[in-house]
Structure 1
């Protein structure tokens, strides 16, 4: 057996390798910061203090992490079925239309806790609907899911711009956005949660959709690892031909997996549309759908790993903003570079250290025998 195919302990695959990838990305980033004449250790300290040093920083970090949890779960569900859903960005965008329509309709008449379940349903349904056509094309026509979902991102963006400019924009408003939601269409913040830990949330927009995101992690875990459908999804992801031979319906499983994936991506919109902006705006997703790919890969498509990876990227987003403010020499472009390095090593190079670790643990097993 080659070193690359040597079985590894679970803690090595799910913990050690992601940590090594993260450390490698940070070391390379530190070297770049050192080359421009700045202290990389000071930069790391500022980044961590900006993201975790006070209640406001933690609030922003968890706000960003909420987006990445939803999109990471979206990518993970499709990945377990052997599908690489690149369309979470567009599905989240269209999902924002679903929850915005609910907030605009009900927000003036009922409190937020009545509006929220319908908004969740609306966002999930619209996101799932946007994933349906690529899923059907994959299942029935053999069109590659990567190509169709990428193209649907652009179609969804064009559709949303048209709706916000020509249909949903209030008369006299110059900005392509809907009117502001009434209090019944706004999600409350989690000030009480920060108060438990003796801190204050301040202006950070952390809201109850964070709790919803954690709840969906439990739902996805149960669905994938504790149900017959989840077994079918994982079997299909391991071998489509073997799954079909075992009687698992290929087309139905692919379509259902993609509908769930699109629904999860659509639910991401609640965090921004109803929890932060309190209106539907152009490009509110802000790349969270693409970051969800790296979050899912780094978290090994497991809900717990996705939560940890999402918090890491939340730290990079919030801490990076603080870093560029405190160290002007480190520009926003350099912050994007650091985020890109983490995505590179968490995604494209996620198995960089696997051959060496497999060889190391293979030798240990030989010595133990």
Structure 2
């Protein structure tokens, strides 16, 4: 009979285990880089410098980080109710449509009115796209994974139709909308810093990063400091017990998916309102799917989600620098490195759980024995 695995302490689950998974992924990636004839230590140094040291590198890293914060929060919100929302890509896509429609409709208004409404439009349409799978799960028994995947394809089809037809910019061959009114534009961070006399590199990094930080705080308050957050966690732990405790389980599922979709829709504030100022086909670029790994690696906690988002932001920016600096390290190799980290932080997230739990339990027993000896 096998020895039962002792429970892993919370601090180890939240911090130590993700770090071990990251180190394991980087070790495997280092072996791959070594196999193709490059120095893995040198490659890691170039990646870190490209993400944080080179001119503009940090700005690009934080720009990517902002996207991952929003999609990571979307996945984490659903996870707390034990709902696997794979529809962040489609919800973010529709969020861009919501932001654009409000921006065009409010083109006459000043920024102080148009910009908050455009942000709300992004969250609202993303939430609407999350509500439908939530309703189908809660009221019709449809599996949330299947419906959210299907809704990604539906969202993509809708946007292809709009951007090659009704919303196509006149005289433009590329599938994109007309520019949004200037009143709905989020200022870039280098513009904000220039206004207070600080000069930083010009990058896509914009004020939506501040909105992402606010979203992290609101997520923490929602999940751990509100009655709704308690209901979400109760439904996730045991729906039947939650029902007998008086919680309306179907309604909680629907609300959870609405909030999840709203977080994903806010990605449009970074990409549409902050950078491109128009809807561009496929602007979500897989951020919704990477958000799954961000939430898993961040253990569905706002601090962990931010750190995981920063890691993947650094991988995106630093990986581009690797492709530029090394001839043998191509873009495909960079994608392999990113995929390896996703593998260890996602599918293999708890591979090191048993030996780590046993080691910590053994050390704890030894420390107690020494204290009483």
Q: TM-score, normalised by structure 2?
A: 0.95
Distance 1:3 1:151 in 2: 43
Aligned position for 1:139:
138
Distance 2:338 2:68 in 1: 14
Aligned residues: 367
Is this contact kept in 2: 1:50–1:322, CA < 8 A?
yes
Deviation at 1:182, TM superposition (A): 3.0
Aligned position for 2:256:
257
Deviation at 1:198, TM superposition (A): 6.4
Q: After superposition, what is the alpha-carbon deviation per residue over 1:53-109, rounded to whole angstroms, capped at 9, x for unaligned?
A: 0451111000000000000000000000110000000000011000011222324x3
Aligned position for 1:205:
204
Deviation at 1:117, TM superposition (A): 0.8
SS of equivalent residue, structure 1 residue 85? coil
Deviation at 1:191, TM superposition (A): 1.5
Aligned position for 1:334:
333
Q: How does 1:97-176 map to 2 (within 5 A)?
A: 97-107=97-107, 109-176=108-175
Distance 1:30 1:73 in 2: 30
Distance 1:211 1:301 in 2: 20
Deviation at 1:6, TM superposition (A): 1.8
Distance 2:198 2:39 in 1: 32
Deviation at 1:199, TM superposition (A): 5.8
Distance 1:363 1:94 in 2: 51
Q: TM-score, normalised by structure 1?
A: 0.96
Distance 1:3 1:212 in 2: 48
Distance 1:279 1:326 in 2: 32
The runs of 4+ residues in structure 1 deviating greater than 3 Å are: 1-5, 110-113, 192-199
Deviation at 1:110, TM superposition (A): 3.4
Q: After superposition, what is the alpha-carbon deviation per residue over 1:249-305, rounded to whole angstroms, capped at 9, x for unaligned?
A: 110000000000001100111100111111101000000000000000000000111
Distance 2:187 2:47 in 1: 28
Aligned position for 1:77:
77
Q: After superposition, what is the alpha-carbon deviation per residue over 1:183-240, rounded to whole angstroms, capped at 9, x for unaligned?
A: 21211011166678966132x1111110001001000100000011101110111111
SS of equivalent residue, structure 2 residue 17? helix
Aligned position for 1:50:
50
Aligned position for 2:23:
23
Deviation at 1:180, TM superposition (A): 1.3
SS of equivalent residue, structure 2 residue 61? helix
Q: How does 1:142-291 map to 2 (within 5 A)?
A: 142-191=141-190, 200-202=200-202, 204-291=203-290
Distance 2:165 2:352 in 1: 52
Structure 2 unmatched runs, 5+? none
Q: Cα RMSD (Å) of the superposition?
A: 1.8
Aligned position for 2:92:
92
TM-aligned CA distance change 1:26 to 1:84, over 3 Å: same
Is this contact kept in 2: 1:73–1:217, CA < 8 A?
yes
TM-aligned CA distance change 1:44 to 1:213, over 3 Å: same
Distance 1:193 1:364 in 2: 51
Structure 1 unmatched runs, 5+? none
